[in-house]
């Protein structure tokens, strides 16, 4: 994986409640978004890497599940994370 501990803590600090906030939906969505962007770039240069393609599909599904959870439980947090990450839904 391309993210080291310092980068993960920076993501958690920016999108979560603090540097150690690994469990909130916002921090997990942000981390998944970073990994999705990395894997998408990898697949552009390696089109036949099917294991990476499968991992990307699973990550997109996990992120969608978390976004659906936020949408059902707290619409304000959902809208805020969509705006911060420039995601469209």
CB–CB of 56/42 below 8 Å? Answer: no
Q: How far is CA 18 from CA 8, 21, 26, 75, 82, in A?
A: 11, 5, 11, 21, 19
Average pLDDT of the residues of the chain? 92
Domains of the chain: 5-85 (1.10.287.10)
At 19, the pLDDT band (50, 70, 90 cuts) reads confident
pLDDT digit string, tens, across residues 47-82: 999 999 999 999 999 999 999 999 999 999 999 999
Which residues touch 89 (CB under 8 Å, ≥6 apart)? 67, 82
Query: What's this model's pTM, rounded to 2 decimal places?
Result: 0.90
In which band, very low, low, confident or very high, does the pLDDT at 1 lie, cut at 50, 70 and 90?
low
Residue found by looking up tokens 């920016």 in the block = 14
């Amino acid at each position: 994986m391309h993210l080291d501990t310092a980068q993960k803590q920076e993501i958690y600090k920016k999108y979560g409640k603090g540097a150690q906030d690994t469990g909130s939906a916002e921090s997990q969505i942000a981390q998944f978004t970073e990994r999705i962007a990395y894997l998408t770039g990898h697949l552009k240069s390696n089109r036949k890497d099917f294991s990476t393609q499968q991992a990307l599909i699973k990550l997109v599904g996990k992120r969608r599940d978390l976004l659906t959870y936020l949408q059902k439980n707290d619409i304000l947090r959902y809208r805020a994370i969509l705006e911060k990450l420039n995601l469209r839904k």
